[in-house]
Amino acid sequence: MAKKSEEKKILINPWDILVAPHLSEKSIGLVETENKLVFMVNEKSTKKQIKYAIEKAFNVKVESVNILNDTKNRKKAFIRLNSKYNALDIATKLGMI
């Protein structure tokens, strides 16, 4: 009998959760100064799903995820990476910088 605390892992394509990187001066400034990535995400995704998607898509460890619902009914995720990983490297791979 399985324990209730064990979570069932569902294989989800990370790019179903991550819609696109957010490209603005403020977002790129966060990449450079605070080791954060900013993504537009699926409106129904949760913080845990976003964390899972970033970790699987880029092979990094996520420290925290903050979500902002803007006035145009879009959802932005601010993802702070662990200090061992550099957000600038990922932004370069994505062509943000």
| pLDDT tens figures, 4-52 | 544 455 678 999 999 999 999 999 999 999 999 999 999 999 999 999 9
- The structure's pTM equals 0.87
- Where residue 1 falls among pLDDT bands split at 50, 70, 90? low
Structure-token pair, residue 55: 């970790």
Options 1.10.340.30, 3.30.9.10, 3.30.70.330, 3.40.47.10; CATH of 15-94:
3.30.70.330
pLDDT bin (cut points 50, 70, 90) of residue 3 is: low
CB 76 within 8 A of CB 39: yes
Q: What pLDDT, on the 0 to 100 scale, is given for residue 5? A: 45
What pLDDT is recorded for position 2?
54
Distance, CA of 53 to CA of 5 (rounded, Å): 21
Which pLDDT does position 12 carry in this prediction?
Answer: 83
Question: What is the residue extent of each domain of the chain?
Answer: 15-94
